Amino acid sequence: MEQHPYGSFTSPKENVYAKWYVDAKDYYYAVSEALMAAKEEIFIEDWWLSPELYLRRPPAQNKEYRLDYLLKKKANEGVKIYIVLFDEVPAIMYLNSKHAELALHHKNIKVFRHGENTFFANVEWGLHMLWNRLFPNAESIKHPDTDPVAYWTHHEKIVVVDRNTAFIGGLDLCFGRYDTHAHKLADFPKFANFSEVWPGQDYNNVRIKDFVEVQKWAITLISKDVSARMPWHDISIGFIGAPAVDVANHFIERWNYIKSRNALNYFIRCSHPLLKKSVASDFLEEDIRTYKYFNETTDVDSTKGTCSVQILRSVCRWSHGIEIEDSIHQAYVQTIKEAQHFIYIENQFFMTGNDEKSIFHNMIGKALIERIIRAYKNNEKFRVMVVMPLVPGFEGQFDAEMAVALRITLEFEYRTICRGDGSIFEKLKQAGIQNPDEYISFYALRTHDKIDSEAVKKAKDQILSKMSQELSSKVSPVLNLVNDPIITEQIYIHSKLMIVDDEIVICGSANVNDRSQLGRHDSEIAAIIRDKDKIDSKLAGKHVN
């Protein structure tokens, strides 16, 4: 067997204990347990981090689990905490990583903010805006790689505790992500005994109003008495033992690379230490730990799990100081080619190359087409199911001047799926498949709810801070109570997941687009997991194990 499949920086690790988390309630709870148990080190990397995020809800009953309070508590206990945040372009992004850095100031908490050419990206954005003002009718569709405002981000979502427990996936520790399996649209839900669950900007619907001035986290951007929040569906995974060491080493490489880029900064040179990498063999001896999850406790041996786990990533010289690694993309393509029965994909985006002529360079679509055609020619039962957002998560109506990104994203997704000779559906028809939807289908999710007007009215006076009262009139609609209005909204799919034949999972931070897959753009991390623990089941009407 190849030692490092898919061109990854590390090899598969066997006998691993791994756990999936569907939606943020379970994930944030598990992360809070891990952080509370930290003895020596915590590593965190996020695209966006909100210090005021509550990892457990409702907030009124879980104040100690606000992220900044929890991290400072561990720092006061002597735990060393290292955080890497994407250093955004302030002119076009709301993340305010500087606020997160300042809010987490502590002698035992070290924060790096890193991005590519922030100064030049600001200049580029300014020129782009000037062009739009001079030529307002010159809107054109361009490839995302060459868009004038394109720049690359650190998109990983990583938490590592004591180099033995790691979490990766689609969930940043930030506002707008917390949700349950019920995907409630209104605040003060029954499951929280009608207490507030989403305070301030955490009650969000990006289609109505995107985040702004996130340092003013207590203000409300949409009115809870008339507007639905946008539910957030996401997947993350956790594991202990050897793969956690690989994730830790990935973080350490990033940390040390950023430090080297700041070698002339005396403050950073003195205050931000180089980190030493670990080897997996340090953790291969029997290590039984007790994990608490809600009201259950589990004793876990990090060397006696049932999964094979290999860490994958997208990195390059700008993001990691090394040559391009696109092991996530290679794993997607190869796993699709080897699929026997079905492929299930959940992803925030679906923009992929269907042949070598495509404007997209990731070949996930091409691999899907070839596998479906092979099934058709061999008269095999084979299905591909793709779940994605009904509408991309950008503010504004479709015809609004500001909604350029929304229209471009939809256009490219339609071109990938069904519009034009190069689309998946047309390629399959050209191969003789008259009904491509017998092999591949696309889905989105929507839900409905009822606003508890009386609960909103009672809470308005009780929970809004002085700052919120001063500012809410500037950003929120006037209270306009209707008798428990019915509301509806899409469930926003943010997952980055592929399941193949109920045996193999790829899960991480990478979207199905060139930014995430090619390695030379956004930095990403993922894992490919093979589970050896079989159960009796049915697949295509047949009993399988």
Looking at per-residue pLDDT, the higher value among 507 and 283 belongs to 507
Residue 139 pLDDT grade (very low, low, confident, very high; cuts 50, 70, 90): very low
110-124, 180-194, 199-213: least confidently modelled range: 110-124
Query: Which is more confident, 28 or 457?
Result: 28
Please report the pLDDT score of residue 474 as a whole number. 45
> Alpha helix locations (H) across 378-423?
404-417
- The confidence band for 84, taking pLDDT boundaries of 50, 70 and 90, is very high
pLDDT at 278: 86
pLDDT tens sequence across 390-448: 999 999 888 888 889 899 999 999 999 999 999 999 999 999 999 999 999 999 999 99
Output DSSP code: residue 493.
Answer: E
Residue 473 predicted with pLDDT over 50: no
pLDDT of residue 420: 94
Write down the pLDDT at residue 71.
99
pTM of the model: 0.88
> Tell me: the pLDDT tens digits for 41-60?
999 999 999 999 999 999 99
What is the DSSP code string of 16-63?
A: EEEEEEESHHHHHHHHHHHHHT-SSEEEEEESS--TT-BSSSSGGG-G
User: 204-218, 359-373, 455-469 — which is least confidently predicted?
Assistant: 455-469
Q: Report yes or no: 46 and 174 within 8 Å, Cβ to Cβ.
A: yes
3-state SS class at 340: coil
Contact (CB, 8 A) for 347 and 380: no
Stretch among 13-27, 165-179, 264-278, 456-470 having the lowest mean pLDDT: 456-470
216 or 279, greater pLDDT:
216
Sole residue written with tokens 């269907």: 354
Nearest CA-CA partner of 50 in 69, 30, 34: 69
CA–CA distance, 267 with 209 (Å, rounded to integer): 39
In order, the DSSP letters of 231-244 are: -EE-EEEEEESHHH
**pLDDT of 502 higher than 90:** yes
User: How confident is the model at residue 466, as a pLDDT?
Assistant: 45
CB 282 within 8 A of CB 245: yes
CA distance linking residue 260 with residue 329, whole number of Å: 28
Mean pLDDT of 354-376: 96
Q: Give the count of beta carbons closer than 10 Å to the beta carbon of residue 421.
A: 11
User: What is the rounded distance in angstroms from the CA atom of residue 244 to the CA atom of residue 281?
Assistant: 12
**pLDDT score at 131:** 52
* Catalytic residue set: 155, 157, 162, 494, 496, 501
pLDDT in tens, 368-388: 999 999 999 999 999 999 999
**Cα dihedral value 346, 52, 48, 16, nearest 10:** -60
Average pLDDT over residues 25-29: 98
Element spanning 311, H or E? strand 307-315
pLDDT tens, residue by residue, 59-71: 999 999 999 999 9
Residue-wise pLDDT for 253-263, tens only, equals 999 999 998 76
Mean residue pLDDT of the chain comes to 88
Residues 6+ apart with CB under 8 A from 89: 115, 118, 121, 122, 125, 151
Does 118 score more than 70 pLDDT?
Answer: no
For residues 66 and 289, give the distance between their C-alpha atoms in angstroms, rounded to a whole number: 25
Mean pLDDT across 450-468: 68
The dihedral sign for the CA sequence 251, 257, 261, 263: positive
pLDDT higher than threshold 90 for residue 214? yes
Backbone φ and ψ for 232, nearest 5 degrees, come out as -125, 115
- pLDDT confidence bin for 337, thresholds 50/70/90: very high
| pLDDT of 149 strictly over 90 | no
With beta carbons less than 8 A apart as the criterion, state whether 25 and 232 touch: no
**pLDDT in the model for residue 39:** 97
pLDDT given for residue 517 in this prediction: 98
Residues 313 and 322: their CA atoms lie apart, in Å, by 12
- The three-state secondary structure class of 541 is coil
Which is higher by pLDDT, 79 or 283? 79
| Residue 401: partners with Cβ closer than 8 Å, 6 or more residues away | none
Tell me the percentage of the chain whose pLDDT exceeds 70: 83
